[in-house]
Amino acid sequence: MSGSKFLVAKVVLGIFLAALLLAGCGSGTKETGPQKIPVKERLVTASGQVEEREVLIPSPPSRVVVLGGYAAEIIQALGAESRVVGIDEHTKTKVLWPEYVTKLPSVGPSNTPSVEGILALKPDLVIEGFLEPKIREQLVTAGIPVLKIYGYKTELLGEEIRTLGKVFKAEKRADEYASFIERQWNEVKKRVAGLPAAQKPKVYWESSLGNWKTHGKGSGAHPLIEWAGGVNLAAELGTSYPTVTPEWVAAKNPDVIIKYVGAPTMGWKGDSKKLEEIRQEIMNRPALKNTNAVKNGRVYLISDKITCAPQGAVGIYYLAKWFHPELFKDIDPGILHRDMLKRFYGEELKGIWVYPQE
């Protein structure tokens, strides 16, 4: 072979090998699938500490099962809802939003879903916020990556939105959304900064899971109370979701009482008659009748979907107006909610989110 022909052969071979290398890199191939990337998930321990661990996931995933409505919301805000192939039962049949979840197959409860049902959907990622550890282990053993996204742990929300932005290759949109929420929180904190302790109302926040179950440190509600210029009465109890006695609440004499109400009674649909019944039941409890909150009519119902949630930028303004109306006269949380839904979800505001309504 002449020198020139040998040189041409070497060049052709080099181009061929380079093409092979490029085909196996970057976004993956049909044989290998999408490139897997490491992402950090954050786990909150029983003591309230945050631990981080790394999960290898396909990016972007093409078939995602979501166990929890909060993550489903964020995914719509990122424009990635077409990649979701399964949802938990509560989000599909009770929350009923985002609307795309109602058209998806249910895999059962968000904490104890059907492993067989999930595997039948052939997901390449499961996103969960409530999953029992033994079920998570079964999925991981079956080769399915599982990513923890709470969506209701207030201090983690911005990081979790950005994590999902990385997963779905929507980093810019995720940062825009997370930054919007963080700006609202910071504005509220700025306005109440420097308030003396005597001007901060004592708050009893009751869970939707039962009477006298409240929210302490480690819950999503706790930082919102503090950021809005209130004092969380349950903070001293040392657990995230303590159950208290009527006598304990009466002795603490809250200035404000807040009650979580879940879907469908409150939220995108809303039942004003039922909400009034819930409020009256609280105000008529013997242990609460003589509290400052009841005597002054400062008893409020609120949806968890606008507090410890991706729409938490709305809820904190309602809290702030209830706690310190004189500092937030210029703010209409309803207008903020309407604009936020339109901007990030392409949705119109409807339903009942707080009660009494302003």
Given a cut of 60, whether residue 289 has pLDDT beyond it is yes
Question: Model confidence at 33, in pLDDT bands (50, 70, 90)?
Answer: low
What amino acid occupies position 57? I
Residue 182 lies in a domain: no
Q: Please give the sequence-ordered ranges of beta strands (E in DSSP) within 114-210, or none if there are none.
A: 125-128, 146-148, 202-206
Identify the DSSP state of 94: I
Tell me the pLDDT tens digit for each residue of 163-197: 999 999 999 999 999 999 999 999 999 999 999 99
Of 79, 114, 149, the last residue of a domain is 149
Residue 30 is predicted with a pLDDT of 44
Residue 31 is predicted with a pLDDT of 45
Residue 233 lies in a domain: yes
Least confident piece of the model among 43-47, 242-246, 327-331: 43-47
> Following CA atoms 352, 353, 356, 357 in sequence, which dihedral angle do they give, to the nearest 10 degrees?
-70
Residue 170 lies in a domain: no
What amino acid occupies position 140? V
The count of other CB atoms within 10 Å of the CB of residue 133 is 7
Same domain, 207 and 139: no
Return the structure tokens found at 51.
């631990």
Of 86, 120, 149, the last residue of a domain is 149
Question: Model confidence at 10, in pLDDT bands (50, 70, 90)?
Answer: very low
Same domain, 74 and 144: yes
Residue 35 is predicted with a pLDDT of 87
* Total number of domains in the chain: 2
Same domain, 88 and 227: no
Tell me the pTM.
Answer: 0.85
Same domain, 228 and 347: yes
In 3D space, the residue among 254, 270, 240 whose CA is nearest the CA of residue 354 turns out to be 270
Tell me the pLDDT tens digit for each residue of 107-129: 999 999 999 999 999 999 999 99
What is the spatial distance between Cα 25 and Cα 20, in angstroms, rounded to a whole number?
A: 9
In 3D space, the residue among 331, 318, 324 whose CA is nearest the CA of residue 357 turns out to be 318
Residue 218 is predicted with a pLDDT of 85
Same domain, 113 and 49: yes
Same domain, 113 and 230: no
* CATH number of the structural domain spanning residue 60: 3.40.50.1980
Residue 166 lies in a domain: no
Q: What mean pLDDT do residues 124-146 have?
A: 97
Same domain, 115 and 263: no
Whole domain around residue 127: which residue ranges? 36-149
